[in-house]
Amino acid sequence: MDRLQKILAQAGIASRRKSEEYIKEGRVKVNGEVVTEMGFQVSKKDEILVDDKPILKENKVYYMLYKPKKVICTNNDDKGRVTASSLVECEERIFPIGRLDYDTTGLLLLTNDGEFANEMAHPRYHIFKTYQLDLKGILTPEHIRQLEKGIMLDGKKTLPAKIKVTNKDFEKKQTTLEIKIQEGRKHQVKKMFLYFDYKVTRLHRSQFGFLTLGSLTPGQSRRLKPFEVKKLRALANGEVLED
Whole-number Å distance between alpha carbons of 107 and 129: 9
First CA to last CA across the chain, in angstroms? 36
**Touching ligand URA, residues 173-232 (CB under 6 A):** 187-190, 203
Are residues 8 and 21 in contact, defined by beta-carbon separation less than 8 angstroms? no
83 touches ligand URA by CB under 6 A: no
Backbone angles phi, psi at 145, to 5 degrees: -60, -45
Please identify, using beta-carbon distances, which residue of 143 and 190 lies nearer to ligand URA: 190
Least Å from the CB of residue 194 to ligand URA: 9
Are residues 47 and 32 in contact, defined by beta-carbon separation less than 8 angstroms? yes
Question: Distance from CA of residue 55 to its chain's centroid?
Answer: 23
Marked catalytic residue, from 46, 51, 78, 101: 101
Whole-number Å distance between alpha carbons of 37 and 20: 9
Least Å from the CB of residue 99 to ligand URA: 6
Catalytic-residue membership of 101? yes
**Touching ligand URA, residues 116-155 (CB under 6 A):** none
How many residues touch ligand URA under the rule CB under 6 A: the total is 8
> Which residues of this chain interact with ligand URA, rule CB under 6 A?
100-101, 104, 187-190, 203
Catalytic residues: 101
